[in-house]
Amino acid sequence: MKKNLILGIETSCDETAAAVVAAGKTVLSSIIASQIPIHEKYGGVVPEIASRHHLEMVNEVIAEALLQANCSFADLSAIAVTHGPGLVGALLVGVNTAKTLAYALKKPILAVNHIFSHIAANFLVHEVRFPAVCLVVSGGHTSLFYLTSRSEAALLGATRDDAAGEAFDKVARVLGLGYPGGPAIEKAAEAGDAGAFTFPRAFAGQDDNYEFSFSGLKSAVINTLHNLKQKGQTYRTADVAASFQQAVVDILVEKTCLAAEAKQVKTVLLAGGVAANGALRQQLEQALAAAGRTLLYPPLELCTDNAAMVAAAGWDLYLQQKFAGLDLNAVPVLDNLWQVK
């Protein structure tokens, strides 16, 4: 029998994913069936459609992950699954698949918090020295954490309304750039002037405040475009995209640097789908380097939703024997990172 293999399963939003990871570190396989093309025409993820596709794909993706990892169900030490936060109907597919497999195979069930799994993506590729500060930015979350180990985190602050990724999606929609918005805005912004428009940066310049807000920024972009159209003035989409992106990056950089300084950490981690944004990576890296700090982030394929990060986060639960019961449920809103039933 092979040792320390965790099967990870992820169905919290629009990717159906499964992966096999050895000892929370070595990715033996990571399979992702993306639904992005399916939801594109609706301009966002439709929960019922997402749930239906997860159901069709989840067992296939698991079989493929085992095949590519060259292992069988019997080789697994445990099965880890995202149980929240996320779309409840989508989560239910992964949760019930994982716990039923675990039950039939007599393996432990590991209930993983989605946000924390994004952080854990870093553990797959970096030897992280603690303590560290981590900025998680994705379509669903914008949060700053203080980490003292692989499995101990304290929330410093989070968004009060929209997540950064959500703002990217909405602004991209208004600009007619398509879905998902993150990559579309980044691409458009390359040819734009980031100083062409001045958009608000919520809570900027406030020490000891690690909260974010992006709904005002989104509204400001929409109002600006509306006013220009009313006056019959033209504008360059690239300039709007670049100015908007700069406003997001500025506030993320400012708050992250503030947290790193307050906590006096040497290492800062970046995680989540928006961590794939080149402008954010580059500017955050520069700002931190100026203060002698190192920025770590996962490769692109581990930034967006995947199951390798779920297996990595599950590994720490496995070591602590924090196993979930057969009555494990999906939790759409999950504030406590360590909530295990």
Positions touching other proteins (CB under 8 A) are 41-49, 51-52, 55-56, 58-60, 62-63, 73, 89, 92-93, 95-101, 103-105, 173, 325-330
- Single out the segment in contact with Zn ion by CB under 5 A; choices: 33-41, 65-73, 77-85, 138-146: 138-146
Q: Which does 138 bind (CB under 5 to 8 A by kind): other proteins, Zn ion, none?
A: Zn ion
Q: Which of 29, 77, 97, 138 forms a contact with Zn ion (CB under 5 A)?
A: 138
Least distance between other proteins and beta carbon 1 (Å) = 17
Site for Zn ion in 72-131 (CB under 5 A): none
Give me the phi and psi of 190, to 5 degrees please. Answer: -55, -35
Identify each DSSP E strand in 186-335 by its residue range: 267-271, 294-296
Report the nearest approach of Zn ion to the CB of residue 305 (Å).
4
Of 285 and 305, which has the nearer Cβ to other proteins?
305
Comparing CB distances to other proteins, the nearer of 99 and 255 is: 99
Strand order in the sheet with 109-113: 26-34, 15-22, 5-10, 76-84, 109-113
Amino acid at 333: V
> Which token pair is 280?
């954010």
Min dist CB 99 to other proteins, Å, is 6
| Closest to 162 measured CA to CA, from 137, 125, 199 | 137
Residue 100 to residue 81: CA distance in whole angstroms? 12
Name which of 131, 83, 177, 124 is nearest 303 in CA terms.
124
Considering only residues 161 to 180 of the shown chain, the ones binding Zn ion according to CB under 5 A are none
What CA–CA distances, in Å, run from 282 to 184, 238, 246, 269?
A: 18, 19, 12, 13
Q: Residue 332, preceding bond cis, omega within 30 degrees?
A: no
Give least dist CB 137 to other proteins, A: 22
337 binds, among Zn ion, other proteins, none (CB under 5 to 8 A by kind): none
DSSP 12-46: SSSEEEEEEEETTTEEEEEEEEE-HHHHGGGTS--
Q: Which of 298, 305, 308, 310 binds Zn ion (CB under 5 A)?
A: 305
* Tokens (6 digits) for 173: 């929609």
CB-nearer residue toward other proteins: 57 or 258: 57
Largest CA distance in the chain: 71
- What, of other proteins, Zn ion, none, does residue 340 touch, CB below 5 to 8 Å by kind? none
Contact partner, 52, from Zn ion, other proteins, none, Cβ < 5-8 Å per class? other proteins
Q: State which residue, 9 or 251, has the beta carbon closest to other proteins.
A: 9
The CB-of-34 to Zn ion minimum distance in angstroms stands at 13
Instruction: From the list other proteins, Zn ion, none, pick the one residue 305 interacts with, judged by a Cβ distance below 5 to 8 Å according to partner type.
Output: Zn ion
Closer to Zn ion by Cβ: residue 138 or 213: 138
Q: Answer for the pair 124, 302: CB distance below 8 angstroms, yes or no.
A: yes
Contact partner at residue 203 from Zn ion, other proteins, none, CB < 5 to 8 Å by partner kind = none
Query: Which whole-number Å values give the CA distances from 316 to 47, 55, 187, 281, 322, in the listed order?
Result: 30, 28, 37, 27, 9
Based on CB atoms, which residue is closest to other proteins, 17 or 124? 17
Binding site for Zn ion (CB under 5 A): 138, 305
